[in-house]
Amino acid sequence: MSLEDYLYEKTVECPVCGNTFTVIAVKQKAYVVESRDTDFCVRYKEINPLLYDVWICQLCGYAAQKSTFPDISFKRAKLIQEYITPKWVARESEKIIDYDKAISRFKLALISAQISKAKASEVAGLCLKIAWTYRFMGETEKEKNFLTNALDKYLEAYAKERFPLENMDEPTVTYLIGELYRRLGNLEEAATWYSKVINTRAGSERVQKLAREQWHLVKEELKKNSAS
Ligand SMILES: [Zn+2]
């Protein structure tokens, strides 16, 4: 099967300017999971649906992840029209999206989110997905930069927003913060956040299990470090 067998076109409406346009979507059958990383990055067998996650309105320049695209407030839409649309230059929509194109699409969504003052959790989610895309590309330094940005924004969201944050309940976000700390080399902070999850005993069994496993991993690392 070719890549195009997994893709189809679908019509969506822009909540900022009312334009209707087509986006490339990934067929359900393509979502075959190969493995999951411990920060919830999913690896798929056939095609990477993450690359098709951002929708862009070529008329006004609004860009967002498909999960949040329709839900922009009137106030935020005004900011897009005021600060993005006048500078927007339409480009041809892509049929096949590779890693580089996906990165620039995610970065456009990040600009839309920042200029229209999206919630910290939305910005965090975008930074995390950019980090994952760099991970797929083997760009470790760039991945770390965006994991750092994601962590900052998740910490802000954790302190300020109500749960769930983009479908994640409090234990899941708490675990994820620990995991981002671990991936960025801050093992003490990682252990603290995993412990919070373990001690409350809340959340899904999967998150509890992940928190326990990663807590043990970090404890081993810390022991090794203090021994050497
Ligand atoms: Zn639009």
At 45-94, the pLDDT tens digits run 989 999 999 999 999 999 999 999 999 999 999 999 999 999 999 888 78
**Ligand 1 centroid – CA 16 distance (Å):** 5
The pLDDT score that the predictor gives to residue 169 is: 96
Across-strand partners of 26? 7
**Ligand 1 centroid – CA 141 distance (Å):** 34
Q: Is residue 226 scored above 90 in pLDDT?
A: no
Q: How confident is the model at residue 228 (pLDDT cuts 50, 70, 90)?
A: confident
Q: Return d(Cα 155, Cα 36) in angstroms, integer.
A: 23
CA gyration radius, the chain: 19
**Ligand 1 centroid – CA 219 distance (Å):** 49
Q: Which residues surround ligand 1, an ion (CB under 5 A)?
A: 14, 16-17, 19, 57, 59-60, 62
The pLDDT score that the predictor gives to residue 227 is: 84
**Ligand 1 centroid – CA 51 distance (Å):** 21
Half-sphere exposure of 121 (CA within 13 A, CB side): 19
**Ligand 1 centroid – CA 50 distance (Å):** 22
Q: Return d(Cα 120, Cα 113) in angstroms, integer.
A: 9
**Ligand 1 centroid – CA 116 distance (Å):** 14
The tens digit of pLDDT for each residue in 145-180 reads 999 999 999 999 999 999 999 899 999 999 999 999
The pLDDT score that the predictor gives to residue 88 is: 96
Q: Is residue 39 scored above 80 in pLDDT?
A: yes
The pLDDT score that the predictor gives to residue 46 is: 86
Q: Return d(Cα 34, Cα 32) in angstroms, integer.
A: 6
Find where tokens 């299990």 sit: 209
Q: Return d(Cα 154, Cα 172) in angstroms, integer.
A: 11
Tokens of 128: 């995390």
